[in-house]
Amino acid sequence: MSPFAHGCDPLCDDCVAEHLAQLSGVAQCRGEAWARAIARVIPIDRPWPYTARMRAIAVRKVSDLTRDERLRRLLADELAEGASRWWERARHRAG
């Protein structure tokens, strides 16, 4: 039986893991696109800002991927990781 057939709400651990495996690349790609957009308007002279504001934006950027709060937080982590990774590579290329 597919883990998506559980019908669990909130998602069980197995469903969270399955959804995260399938959606983490989407979230990271969104993070990279977000970082590229920000780099067009502000200098890349500091590390990626891990702030409460950044976190709230990250959660909003993945909110269409799931209704499950725990999965949303994990996907926001993936999004922030993708943004930070892109940002740091860009800083090193510019520096």
Distance of CA 48 to the CA centre of its chain: 14
> In this structure, are residues 75 and 23 in contact, taking their beta carbons and an 8 Å threshold?
yes
Residue that is written with structure tokens 């949303």 in the block:
72
Residue 2, domain member (yes or no): no
**pLDDT of the chain along its 95 residues, tens only?**
344 557 788 899 999 999 999 999 999 999 999 999 999 998 899 889 889 999 999 999 999 999 999 999 999 999 999 999 999 999 999 87
Residue 4, domain member (yes or no): no
Please state the domain count of the chain.
Answer: 1
Q: pTM value?
A: 0.89
Residue 72, domain member (yes or no): yes
Structural domain boundaries, residue 43 = 11-94
> In this structure, are residues 94 and 44 in contact, taking their beta carbons and an 8 Å threshold?
yes
